[in-house]
Amino acid sequence: MDGIQRIVRVLESIVRVPSYSLLGVAGNRIVYLSTAEGVVSLWSMNSKGGDRRKLATEVHGVAPVVPESNYVVYTRDVTRGHELHKLFYIDARGGEEKLVADTPLMRIFGIGFDGSRIVFTGATAEEIALYLAKLDGSWEKLYKLDIMAFVTDIEGKYVVGFGNLRKDPRTFELFIYNLETNEFKVYTPKPGSQNKAPVIRNGKIMFESNYEGKNRLYIYDPESDQLEKLVFKHSDYEKYDPVEHDSYNWTQDGLVWAVGKKNGRSKLFLDGKEIKTPEGTIHGYPVFIKDKVLVAVSGLLKPPRVLEVNIKKNKVKTLIDNKLPKEIEKSLGEVKFVKYKSFDGLDIPMYIALSNEAGKPGPTVVYVHGGPWSEVRDVWSISIASLVASGYHVLAPNFRGSTGYGDEFRILDIGDPGGGDLEDVVHAAKWGVENKIADPEKIAIMGYSYGGYMTYLAMCKHPEIWRCGVAGAGVVDWEEMYDLSDAIFRQFIDVLFAGKKELWRERSPITYVDKVKKPLCIIHPQNDTRTPLKPVLRYMNKLLEKNKTFEAHIAPDMGHVIVKMDDAVKILLPALIFLERNLK
The one-letter amino acid code at 381 reads S
DSSP state of 293: E
**For strand 468-472 and strand 438-448, is the pairing parallel, antiparallel, or unpaired?**
parallel
Sign of the alpha-carbon dihedral angle for 21, 356, 453, 193: positive
pLDDT for position 178: 98
What integer pLDDT is reported at residue 176 of this predicted model?
98
What is the pLDDT, as a whole number, of residue 3?
81
Query: Using an 8 Å Cβ cutoff, are 98 and 91 in contact?
Result: no
What pLDDT does residue 4 have?
85
Residue 287 CA to residue 247 CA, distance in Å, equals 12
For residue 536, give the nearest of 493, 477, 581 by alpha carbon.
477
- Asked if 174 and 187 touch (Cβ cutoff 8 Å), the reply is yes
Please name the residues in contact with 265: beta carbons below 8 A apart, sequence gap of 6 or more.
279, 280, 281, 377, 378
Compute the half-sphere exposure of residue 498: CA atoms within 13 Å on the CB side of its CA. 10
The answer to whether 19-255 and 330-582 have equal CATH topology is: no
Nearest to 490 by CA among 520, 519, 529, 522: 529
pLDDT, residue 247, reads: 98
Cis peptide before 191 (omega within 30 of 0): no
To which CATH superfamily is domain 19-255 assigned? Answer: Peptidase/esterase 'gauge' domain (2.130.10.150)
117 contact partners, CB below 8 Å, separation of at least 6 = 132, 133, 134, 154
Give the pLDDT confidence score for residue 2 in this predicted structure: 72
CB 257 within 8 A of CB 233: no
DSSP state letters, 490-542: HHHHHHHTTT-TTHHHHT-GGGGGGG--S-EEEEEETT-SSS-HHHHHHHHHH
Q: Residue ranges per domain, the chain?
A: 19-255, 330-582
| pLDDT-flagged residues of the chain (< 50) | 1
Q: Return the DSSP state at 312.
A: T
**Gap between the Cα atoms of 427 and 434, Å rounded:** 10
30-55 burial: b if 16+ Cβ within 10 Å, else e: bbbbbbbebbbbbbbbebebeeeeeb
Fold of 330-582: Rossmann fold (3.40.50)
Q: What CA–CA distance (Å, rounded) separates 104 from 99?
A: 12
Catalytic annotation, residues = 449, 528, 560
- For residue 29, give Cα distances in angstroms to 55, 140, 317, 389, 399: 12, 30, 19, 37, 40
